[in-house]
A = this chain, B = another copy of it.
Amino acid sequence: MSKTRTQPSARLRIVLAPAMALGPGKADLLQAIEVTGSIAGAGRSLGMSYRRAWTLTEALNSYFAGPLVITKRGGSRRGGASLTELGRDVLSLYRRMEQRTNSVIETELAALQCLRKADR
């Protein structure tokens, strides 16, 4: 029986401030908001509580020069949501950094993979 082995992969976290980072979690959340059209739907699609999805969104919105996510219905926190132009810019900057990173570390990732124990 052969066991599937995990391929080493990179996760890029951008530390923006001491208690604020932009990593795969927030990037996936922004992307899921764009896809699902709501914060609740994005949270569900990522297995994240609504509360957590909302908290992360608020953190992003208050860090940048303007909101990255706007909710469509004025009063309702559970209404539809979408990315602003700034939100799409931030997401696309992150994805570009992620792609560039992956493209320049391929050799080292492969080397790390060769250095692990045979049963890993």
Contact = CB atoms under 8 A, between A and B. Distances in A.
Contacts of A118: 65
Interface in A1-38: 6, 8-18, 21-22
A46 interface: no
A36 B65 CA distance: 44
A117 B20 CA distance: 13
Interface of A: 6, 8-18, 21-22, 62-65, 86, 89-90, 93-94, 96-97, 100-101, 103-105, 108-109, 111-112, 115-118, 120
Given A10-B15, A12-B12, A12-B13, 16 more contacts: A6-B15, A6-B16, A6-B18, A14-B112, A22-B112, A62-B117, A63-B116, A63-B117, A89-B111, A90-B112, A93-B108, A93-B111, A94-B108, A97-B104, A100-B105, A101-B101
Nearest to A99: B104
A100 B10 CA distance: 13
Given A63-B120, A64-B116, A65-B115, A97 B6 contact: no
A22 B112 CA distance: 10
